[in-house]
Copies of this chain bind each other. A is one copy, B any other.
Amino acid sequence: MMTTGLTRTDVRGLLLEHGITPTKQRLEIAQILFARPQHLSAEQVLSRLNEERPKASKATIYNTLGLFAQKGLVRELIVDPTKIFYDSNTSDHHHFYNVDTGKLFDVPADSNMVVDNLPNLPDGTVAESVDIIFRIKNKSN
């Protein structure tokens, strides 16, 4: 299912499907996130949301992004030492992180990367996700 490029009502449905009460603020935040596949920090969502007039408070942004992540609507990316990125694309994919610029990119889906011989997990644990991050830097010559 494509969860980006959605209309206002699509977004409402998306929240409901995930058991999230669609409040005004949550819809505003979801609309920003699901406009297209992207990686946004909480602060980016905050400033984009309140560009013209205040639509939600800081606490609400943090609460909402946390809730969306927990309900599987977005994916938390821990990749930058200073902030969390939220990925509106929850399908299985990995990332390039440019340490020089702090920018984050998807590894294209058509790169047929495969991981073999996955290790056994420590006893009493289950996998939540497997993150592969290519830390890249600019060729400096």
A residues adjacent to B (C-beta < 8 A) = 76, 78-81, 84, 96, 98-99, 105, 107-108, 111-122, 124-139
Residues of chain B with a CB closer than 8 A to A84's CB: 81
Please, could you name 14 A-B residue pairs with CB atoms under 8 Å apart, sorted by A? A78-B80, A96-B125, A105-B122, A111-B119, A111-B120, A113-B115, A115-B116, A121-B134, A122-B136, A125-B138, A126-B136, A126-B138, A127-B136, A129-B135
10 additional A-B pairs beyond A81-B84, A115-B115, A125-B139, beta carbons within 8 Å, are A78-B79, A98-B122, A105-B122, A113-B117, A114-B116, A125-B137, A128-B135, A128-B137, A130-B135, A131-B133
